[in-house]
């Protein structure tokens, strides 16, 4: 397991959280960046909604990845059967807000 | 405007729909592929929900693109101020279902 810990800790500009299917946090490299926490817990609901919409349209189809491109972050969610990986990656697109944060 | 028409019509495996902010269809290359229609009108709600979540967390941030990777399609939504571009692109990942469609 330590290999995973090392890999997670090497990711500087990437906030990563791995949860179980019920949302309990299994691994995370987030200290207390409240913005990231808010994103992670809010966008998680969207995954469930998106998956049910996709299945309503075509039960044989399924969502394997959901990606939000924002001005300051990219949020990528991989909804697995027994886990969920959520990544919040800072993007330097908006240099003007770089100094403020 | 004819250049846009030509570009849209050249896109074979891509279903494209451009709507106004209120959802009225401005351009579309979809004949009557009901699956695509269902995706387009269903995932559109997710965009509004996603944008409001993002703004709740950080009013200075905004969502510029939303991408769903599904087993049989990719759905990409660019939510502009005065328009919304929705693209449903077939992906050949699931070759087994290729023969059925």
What are the sequence ranges of the domains in chain A? Answer: 2-91
Smallest Cα distance from A66 to chain B, Å = 5
Average pLDDT of the segment spanning A35-64: 80
Q: How confident is the model at residue A66 (pLDDT cuts 50, 70, 90)?
A: very high
B:30-89 residues touching chain A, CB 8 A cutoff: 35, 38-39, 42-43, 46, 49-50, 53-54, 56-58, 60-73
Query: What is the structure's pLDDT at B97?
Result: 44
Question: Is A64's CB within 8 Å of B69's CB?
Answer: yes
| Chain A contact set for B38 (CB, 8 A) | 56-57
A28-66 as b/e, with b when 16 or more CB fall inside 10 Å? Answer: bbeeeeeebbebbebbbebbeebbebbeebbeebebeeb
**β-bridge mates for residue A79, sequence order:** A84
Contact B64 A53 (CB under 8 A): no
Q: Is the pLDDT of residue B90 over 60?
A: yes
Whether this model's ipTM surpasses 0.90 comes out as no
Closest-approach residue (CA) in chain B for A75:
B66
**How many CB atoms sit inside 10 A of residue B62's CB?**
16
Residue A10 has pLDDT above 80, yes or no: no
What residues form DSSP beta bridges with A73? A90
Which residue in B53, B58, B60 is closest to A46 by CB distance? B53
Q: Is the pLDDT of residue B99 over 70?
A: no
What CATH class is the domain A2-91?
A: alpha beta
Among the listed residues B56, B67, B54, B18, the one whose alpha carbon sits nearest the alpha carbon of residue A71: B54
Between the ranges A35-49, A81-95, B5-19, B69-83, where is the mean pLDDT highest?
A: B69-83
In chain A, what residues touch B58 (CB-CB under 8 Å)? 35, 72
pLDDT at A9: 62
Residue A95 class from Cβ within 10 Å (0-12 exposed, 13-18 middle, 19+ buried)?
A: exposed
The CA distance from A44 to A34, in Å, is 15
Token pair listed for A72: 């300051």
Nearest CA in chain B to A67: B67
CB B92 within 8 A of CB B98: yes
């Amino acid at each position: 397991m330590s290999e995973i810990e090392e890999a997670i800790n090497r990711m500087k500009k990437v906030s990563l959280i791995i949860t179980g299917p019920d949302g309990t946090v299994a691994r995370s490299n987030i200290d207390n960046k409240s913005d990231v926490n808010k994103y992670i817990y809010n966008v998680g609901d969207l995954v469930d909604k998106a998956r049910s919409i996709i299945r309503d349209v075509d039960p044989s189809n399924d969502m394997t990845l959901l990606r939000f491109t924002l001005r300051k972050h990219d949020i990528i969610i991989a909804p697995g059967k027994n886990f969920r990986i959520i990544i919040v990656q800072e993007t330097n697109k908006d240099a003007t807000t770089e100094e403020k944060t």
